[in-house]
Chains A and B, each alone.
Chain A
Amino acid sequence: MNPDLIPALDAAGLPGPPWLFHFLLVFTFFLHLIFMNLTLGGTLMAFVANLRGGGRPGDADSVLAKRLMGVNTYAISLAITTGVAPLLFVQVLYQQYFYSGTILLGWIWFAMLVLLMIGYYAAYLHKKFRGGWLGVSALTFFAIAMTHVAVHLIHVQPAKWPQFNISAMSVLGDPTYWPRLLHFVLAAITFAALVAAWWAVRRARAGVDVELNTKIAASSWRWALWATVLQLVDGFVLTAVLPTEVLLGVMRGGLATLGPLTLSIILAIGLLVMLAKASNPVDHPGLVSGTLAALTLTVAVMTITRHQVRVLYLEPATSRFSATIVPQWGNFILFAVLLVIALATVFWMVRRVLTSPAEGDEAA
């Protein structure tokens, strides 16, 4: 490693203890993943379902595609909104590595913004005009996932920066690149599929278009099942190709690192068992809700593991630096209080909206 390639720590110091920023980074990234999963997984699923259904009204695949893209009206905006916070906190904790990684990718990193806009507006155009817009949207979101995996792997490996400086595209040859990308894509598909199944089960049990919703639920359930099967295989491959020092770091980390990893493996196997248990999810509403809850928990735990793996990747570099801590506790408390008030306001607003249905002249 050429240690001199790592920029100096920011002279201003950390405006709070590192643990606080680690927590905020992980927590807000988890929130982002929820909506990112719906966006990426939902669009990819919708693309395939739309191809299979051919856009025929009343066809289960076509309705599934329409529903997923309906959810995406909100999910894309919320994925961007929730993505702002982890982007902020990663710049506080890892600015030396993160900026370097993005600079080495250069235009590709910048292009992510353009792709994001194309992806969103293509999703909107699909709703208006159909045609090939859904494919454009799916392709751009997949390309954004590729970019994020690339920037992650570049920023955590300062030892390879001279190589990436010659060709950033060489990150595609990193042994972990494709398993890592697949890991995220499969998780996204599983999540979107389970949300679609959960929704269809609720509709079917409420007596709305029972036959159609039963088909949609079964189809989404199968998506989730097969994505989880592949995920388990990919998860082991990804673990196996991790750099030895990182893997050893996980093993030596004791309960702190092995705990979340073991829990996520148990949860993944549990998910598979639950998904294999039912062929018609409409008959098992509790199981569907439980599976979705278990998957959400898995995503949360895996977010912790992902962060720990980053810490281990970067450990040889970060151990050379010691940040000055200049806490701004008053400002943090203000942030925390405002966050609680804002979330409570959002909750209250949504509740008020749900309890104020109106029609005709009474409606807004």
Chain B
Amino acid sequence: MDYPIWSSGLGGGVLMAWVAITHVIVSHFAIGGGLLIVVTETLAVKRADYEMRELARRASLVLILVSTVFGAISGVGIWVVAGLISPGAISALIHNYVWGWAIEWVFFVLEIVAALVYYTTWDKISKGAHLLVGWLYFIGAYMSLVVINGIVAFMLTPGRWLETHAFWDGFFNPTYWPSLVLRTGIVILMAVAFMLWSAYKASPNRRPDLVRYLGWWFFGGALLSYAGYRWWEAVLPDTVTALFLGEAPTLAGLAATRSFTLWSLAIALAVCVLALLLAPRFARGVTAILLMATAFGFFGGYERLREGTRKPFLIHSHLFSNGLLVSQIDEINKVGISAHSGWVALGDPAPEALGARIFAAECSSCHTLDGYQSIREVLPTVADMELVVTPSTMGADVLAYETECSRCHAEIEHAEMVEMLPTLEEIREDPDFVRELNLGMITMSIAGLKEMGSEIVGFDRTTPFDMRTLHRSYMPPFVGTDEEAEALAIYLAALDNSQSATSGGAR
């Protein structure tokens, strides 16, 4: 939080999602493609099967065009985006796991050189030498997954690392092996999703065979993915599973994501059985598109779940997503965020301007002003208040109450809330009064977030935190002095640029 602040306008999460989603799809394809292509070529050599050889050959062009550059650039892109939106967080990860990443790079070098050699030596070297290159490619690619999986899984379940801070305790964390099994299944799904297009180019009489052949791979990959997924869920701590499992999950959105994830896999499996295994003759482009969509849906859903359950941490129970270390909370509360970060201190000292910089430092890694996770959207405004107190036969008043008030005041009914608020006439006569009221509510919320920090500091830092006990378990605490909290509240309250709802200016 002491770095310069970059505002992309899109929201850091959106930008990271773009880069990370494309990268994981391509990189998993690069691994699974390596396996399928070399096994296919091995079978082709054994059976002297020209069509299988051509399938491997065509797929290797996709592999080279997509993986060696797009995969590599998007992988670097994750570092680039993380460095822009959350530098403290990526720095902490790199300082703990630099040797892990260095080892991954070693395998990456082997993977890329082998990929280039493999593609360019078709028709030029002996079958044995070519197969050797293909297998070396797969070994390099898969080993890079074996390494990076440890770092990715560590972020959600650091395990004993919280106590020892030892590299291998974090690496072989509780979700390491389940994640590896799950991702091994996913790499096969991704590979088939891409390779089907190459299989469609086979001669009409061999096409069904090749489609069915890929179908068996997909079937196996789906079962492996399912087994890995259930194992992953089973080893997650209760504090994490409670967020998306059970009768009343803490985060309903994540529970929905889980359903989406598993349904995607079920549909993918059904399409595979029907279209690839039972009736491969009828498999067409739309089949491949459907399999791609459902396989990507499953994979994306799982990644969303993994990221969502980690919220608000980058390294669970150690480092928040905005770069705040748990160990820094007390210190920053004492000296202030302006003393901690020269970039927050730099500029106009007036409360509203200071608040804007505090927002950028503490909140902007997740929130934008008006885009993704819009902060303006969740803040109370004069127009909201007008809607809440204006009787509506269509239920607009209750709806406004539910979206704007009940998240913080669940214990107060709509009718009671109307009693407590000024009347519509009073609001129109003196909107500044409502603005003051809103400022008070925002101030209280920030105070609650600061108080949450004090509770977190009291947690046992050697075990995963149970965030369910906290008021806003999915947010990092506010850190800073009371004056800074006030400056942030003034800035946020001033974001209300709404006009009277009844005059048509409501957002």
Contacts and interface: CB of A to CB of B under 8 A. Distances in A.
A binds B: yes
Interface of A: 2-8, 10-16, 24, 73-74, 76-78, 80-85, 87-89, 91-92, 95, 98-100, 102-104, 106-107, 109-110, 112-113, 116-117, 120-121, 124, 161-162, 165, 328, 331-332, 334-335, 338-339, 342-343, 345-346, 349-350, 352-353, 356-359, 362-364
Given A84-B105, A106-B84, A350-B117, A77 B96 contact: no
B117 A4 contact: no
Nearest to B15: A110
A364 B129 contact: yes
Contacts of A161: 4
A356 to B, nearest CB: 4
B108 A5 contact: no
B270 interface: no
A6 B4 CA distance: 9
A77 B69 contact: yes
Contacts of A99: 3, 83-84, 87, 90-91
A18 to B, nearest CB: 13
Contact of A103 (B5, B113, B126): B5
B124 A84 contact: no
Interface string B210-222: 0000000000000
Contact of A78 (B100, B112, B123): B112
B81 interface: yes
Given A95-B91, A335-B106, A81 B4 contact: no
A120 B69 contact: yes
Nearest to A112: B80
A15 B91 CA distance: 12
Interface stretch (B131-139, B295-303, B448-456): B131-139
B316 interface: no
A118 to B, nearest CB: 10
B130 A88 contact: no
A103 B87 contact: yes
Contacts of A345: 110, 136
B46 interface: no
B132 A349 contact: yes
Contacts of A11: 92, 325, 327
B109 A81 contact: yes
A260 to B, nearest CB: 25
A162 B346 contact: yes
15 contacts: A7-B88, A16-B98, A78-B116, A80-B72, A85-B105, A91-B94, A99-B90, A100-B3, A117-B70, A161-B4, A165-B346, A342-B106, A349-B114, A350-B117, A363-B127
B263 interface: no
A364 B99 contact: no
A31 B404 CA distance: 57
Contacts of B90: 91, 99
A198 B65 CA distance: 28
Nearest to A330: B167
Given A95-B91, A353-B117, A364-B130, A87 B103 contact: no
Contact of A339 (B106, B116, B342): B106
B65 A124 contact: yes
A191 B214 CA distance: 46
Given A73-B120, A103-B4, 15 more contacts: A4-B342, A74-B116, A78-B113, A87-B76, A95-B91, A95-B95, A99-B90, A109-B80, A110-B84, A113-B19, A116-B73, A165-B4, A331-B167, A349-B113, A364-B125
